[in-house]
Each structure stands twice: as structure tokens, then as C-alpha cells.
A and B are shown apart, each in its own frame.
Chain A
Amino acid sequence: MDIFLLEAVLNGVMFGGLLALLALGLNLIFGVIDVVWICYAELVMCGMYTIYWLHAVYGVPFPLAAVAAILLVALLGVLLHRIIIEPILGSAPINQLLATGGLLFFLQSFATLLFTTDFRNVGIHLPSLELGDINLGYARILAFAVALVGAAALYLFLARTYLGTAIRAISQDREIMGLMGVDQRRIYLITSAIGGGLAGLAACLLVLQYDVHPFVGLSFGPITFMICVLGGLGNMIGGVIAAFIMAQIIAIGGYELSVEYSEVLAFLVFIVLIMVRPQGILGK
């Protein structure tokens, strides 16, 4: 096997972990609240800027900056739900999607206003792991590992805790659960916080590999939505599988063709797959 192709595949696996983490938060929000946060990647951008400012500018140690970013984005998630989603929870789902689209515009331009369009690097350069002729960046390995741990933790939380059970119950039948004494509003707020927190966690990992700028969300936002839809909106395991499929398409496509064509390919695969299986690859 071509050694560079193998490297591309391995990098694809690592990238898949990161995409899976990104998709996880979005999927949770969709599964439970039935809302698509179209501004999800922009929340990640907020997390990336937080780390950049705290760590690179004010010299706060990275782990502390990372925790701060996760908490901040979780708070943003709660505010987003409380201020924008809650008033229109009863209207057509597409309106909620569009309202968060307004937030996307706002966050992008507000970031431009505050930080200009400069590309900013957090200034941490992790070395690479060399396996024979194959180079694997530690930043990617770390991202992959944390993404897997994050996914597992979320799974355990949803499967084993009381709160997790309530969240899953709400996602199955939102009317009945109110009658069973579950406070829907509280569950939605908690879910929004977790979804935001996952975006924050993704930000901690992304900032190690990519520069942050106001439009960084556009480079991975659309692909995240495609992954969620492919996995079946709201279906976490499907989302993880779809993330690895898409990451491989992009990685191998990027190796064989070019970066842009590989993404075109990924979106085309998405369009074809959604036509073949509109309910997602793991949907019923």
C-alpha cells in the first residue's frame, strides 16, 4: 500500500474523531430540542477566540483557558436557547433554524468587528509522532483521543444517569414527559449547556490545529451538518459513523485530488446518500 495514502487514511481517522465530536453536540441538540443550530460552528469559533485571548495574549495556562472556553461556550448555548429559541419554540422548525442563522451572521461580524479578519494562532506547536515514514501530529492524536473520550462520557451520561435518562425520554416523546413530571424547560436548558460545552471542547482541540479567524466556522460548519443528517439527525452513533466516512472521503480525496475537490466530493456523496437514505445511514 502506498505509504502516503496510508498516512492520509490515518489522518482521516484522526480527523474523523474531531468531526464526530463536533457532530455530537449538534446531534444532541437536534435529538432533544428538535432545533438545528446553524450557528454551531460559530459557537466553536467563540471558544477558539477565548482560548487564543486567554492563553496566547494573557498567558493563562492552556488547560485553564480550555476549561474557561468550555464553560463560556456552554453559557452561550444556554443564552442562545433562552433568548432566541425559547420564544419561538412553538413556530415552524425552519424558523428556529433561520433565527440561529441570524446569530451566525451576528457572531461572524461581531468577531470581525472586535478582532478584525486577521488569522490568529494560539502558538502551541505539538510535535509529530513518526511511525516509519508516516507522520502523525500529536495535536491530531490528542483531538482523536479526547473526541472519543468525550463521546464515551456523553454516552455514559445519557445511558446511566437520571438526568441523562430524562433527556433521552424527552427526545422520544416531548408531550408525555411533561405529564410524567419532567420539567421540559430545565431539560432543554441543560441540553443546550451540554451541546454548547461540546462545542467548547471541540474548540480546544481545533485551536491546536487551525488558526482562528471570524470565518473559521464556515470551513467546518457545513460538513458538520452533513454528518448529522447522514447519521440521521439526532442519532449519535450514526453521527459518529458518518463522521468517519466523511473524514475518509475528505482525507483520501484530498490526497488523490485536491482539498476543494475532496470537499466537493464529500458534499456530493452527502446529496446522493440523503436521496438514497433520507432517514440517515442508521435511521429506521
Chain B
Amino acid sequence: MNRSWIIAGVGLAALALVPFVASPYVLHIAVQILIFGMIYTAWSFMGRFGLTSIGHGAFLGIGAYTTALLWNLYGVTPWIGIPAGMALSVLLALVIGYPCFHLKIVGHYFALVTLALGQVIALLVIAARDVTGGSLGMTPTQVGESIFAFQFPNRTHFYFIALALWLLVLGVWYWVAYGMRRAALDAIGEDETAAAAAGIDVMREKLRITVISAAITSLGGSVLTQYLMYLNPETVAGVGISLQIVFAAIAGGMYSALGPTVGALLTLTLTESLRILFGTHFIGAANTIYGILLILFIVFLPRGIMGLIEQFSLFRGTREKESRLPL
């Protein structure tokens, strides 16, 4: 236990130093890695227990658009807009989740229902183009550095906000992964009927994890928008981003606390380095390689990079708690 606390402390100190040593460009990427890391982690809350959602873009979009629209149209501060978006996402998660879990819609069917959900939100954003700007996207009204408007053009400030939120989500991850609920959720993921027979309230556990996941994804969507100050239906809702969430989380490893963040690190670094390497000359090159990598990951490394690392560290004898996973 002692050693892992030391590692965590050193890691945290290193993360806190990033803004003071990194160039503005690297810092810009780092902020995005933290925000996406948080979103991917939120997805993995559901994904690791067999609730594969390919419509998380819906929650991302609700968070982003609720915050931005409330601010632009009514001048409502994101401090209210962000929780409002989260509340809406939670509501939607309950409205969809309850009947789904009640009717035992799982696997393919669950994935396709969530796909439809993601499409509904993306299409609504496009259809309401009078207020949302449709496919062209929109920009939140900018007021410069302002706590009230949750706008921090200073990257260092935003970095620490993103870092704090990311740590918070990691905390939630540990709460989920090492609490009593983990066992219950694992059991549900393995065999729902058996879990119910063992006295687990399947519906309640599933809804709880879905709500947590939706709320954090929505928060991530809002924060991402406040950072980039631009949003459009392709980047925060719809099929593309929804699949991207799934893949990054899987590539990084959805069974480890840091896995989804590693996924964010991997995908963003890959995209950026290919962009620098090829410039805008080869639009699509990054995603082409990305697509191949995803197939390879799912075929050969379904537990992701962190899964691989943990496997090796197991051989070296440092027994991780995660090794208790019955997979």
C-alpha cells in the first residue's frame, strides 16, 4: 500500500508541474487528455460491467448544449447550466435505462438502443438549427476570463480545473471498483439471472451505474465546450464521437482506473502526431490508422493497454488488486 501511495504522490506532483514546463500547445493537448480521460472513464463505469453503450454522445451533447444554450440565450451561468445538463442527462438515463433493464435488454439490443439515443440527440441538435446553429455548430458568448461565465482563456487555470475534475472521477472509479458494489456489478455482468437469484437488486445496481456514467459524461461535455468554446453535433453528439468514446476506453483498458485516460492519451497523441507529420495533406490518415488499431485491439487485446501492463506486472509478482477480476 505504501509504495502505491508514493507512486501516486509523485505522479500527482508531476501532473501539477505540467503547466509550468510544457509549451502552450502541449498544455492544450494535456487539458483535452484530462477532459476526455474523464469522459472515457465515465463510459467504462458501464462498459466494464457489460453495459456497452454506443450512444454516450447523447449525454455529452446534452451537457455541452444545455450549458451553452442556457448561457447564450438566457445568460444563465454555467455554474447552473452544468448541473442542469447533468440533471437532464440523468433523467434521460433513467427514462431509457429503467425500461431497458426492466425488460432485460442486453448485449446487441442494448447497444443498438443506445445508438438510437445518440442519433436522437444529434438529430435534435441539427433540427433545432435556429438556436443551435445546426451542423455548423455554435460558440458560447465569450466574456474573457470570468469565474461567473466558467470561461478561462488562461490554459493553466483550465488545466487545474480539468485536473481536479479528472481526479474526482478517478475517486468515483475507486469508489465503484473497490466498494461492495463492484462484486454485485461483476456478478450482474457475468450472469444477470444468477445475480438476481443471489439477492442482488439488479435493476437498482444497473440504474445507479448508468446514472453515474451519464452524469459524469454530461459534465465532461460541458467542461469540454467551456474549454474549446466551440461545439457542433459531430464533435459532441452522434455516432462518431460515441464510437470514439467506446474505442478509446477499450484501447486504454476499461478494467483499470487509468485505462481510459491512457486511451485518451493514446488517441489524442496519435491524432496530433499524425496531423503534424502529414499536415492537412492527408485528411483521414489519422483515423485510418486509428481504425486499424481499434480492430487489432479488440481482436488481440480486449483488455487494452493497461490490461496488458497489469498482466506483465502480475508475472513480476506485484499482485494487483485488479487481478481478482474473474476474467
Partner of B247, one of A93, A98, A270: A98
Given the contacts A112-B284, A263-B123, A278-B103, A218 and B298 also touching, CB distance less than 8 Å: no
Residues 80-108 of chain A, each 1 if its beta carbon lies under 8 Å from chain B, else 0: 00001001100111110111011111111
Asked if B24 is at the interface (CB within 8 A of a chain A CB), the reply is no
Given the contacts A98-B247, A270-B116, A260 and B103 also touching, CB distance less than 8 Å: no
Asked if A52 is at the interface (CB within 8 A of a chain B CB), the reply is no
* Alpha-carbon separation in the docked complex, A65 to B195 (Å): 55
Chain A residue at minimum C-beta to C-beta distance from B100: A275
- The answer on a CB contact under 8 Å between B123 and A105 is no
* A/B interface sample: 26 pairs, CB < 8 A: A36-B108, A36-B112, A88-B299, A94-B52, A95-B302, A97-B111, A98-B52, A101-B294, A102-B293, A102-B294, A103-B295, A104-B291, A105-B291, A107-B291, A109-B285, A113-B288, A117-B283, A214-B284, A218-B240, A225-B112, A261-B127, A271-B96, A271-B113, A271-B116, A275-B103, A278-B105
User: Could you say which of B104, B123, B126 has the most chain A C-beta atoms within 10 Å of its C-beta?
Assistant: B123
Interface residues of B (CB under 8 A from A): 50, 52, 54, 96, 99-100, 103-105, 107-109, 111-113, 115-117, 119-120, 123-124, 126-127, 238-240, 243, 246-247, 250, 282-288, 290-295, 297-299, 302
Contacts of A99 in B (CB 8 A): 294-295, 298-299
- The answer on a CB contact under 8 Å between B109 and A101 is no
Interface residues of A (CB under 8 A from B): 30, 36, 38, 84, 87-88, 91-95, 97-99, 101-113, 116-117, 214, 218, 221-222, 225-226, 229, 233, 258, 260-261, 263-264, 267-268, 270-271, 274-275, 278
Contacts of B108 in A (CB 8 A): 30, 36, 93-94, 97, 233
* Alpha-carbon separation in the docked complex, A284 to B118 (Å): 28
- The answer on a CB contact under 8 Å between B284 and A218 is no
User: Could you say which of B99, B119, B283 has the most chain A C-beta atoms within 10 Å of its C-beta?
Assistant: B119
Given the contacts A88-B299, A261-B127, A264-B124, A105 and B290 also touching, CB distance less than 8 Å: yes
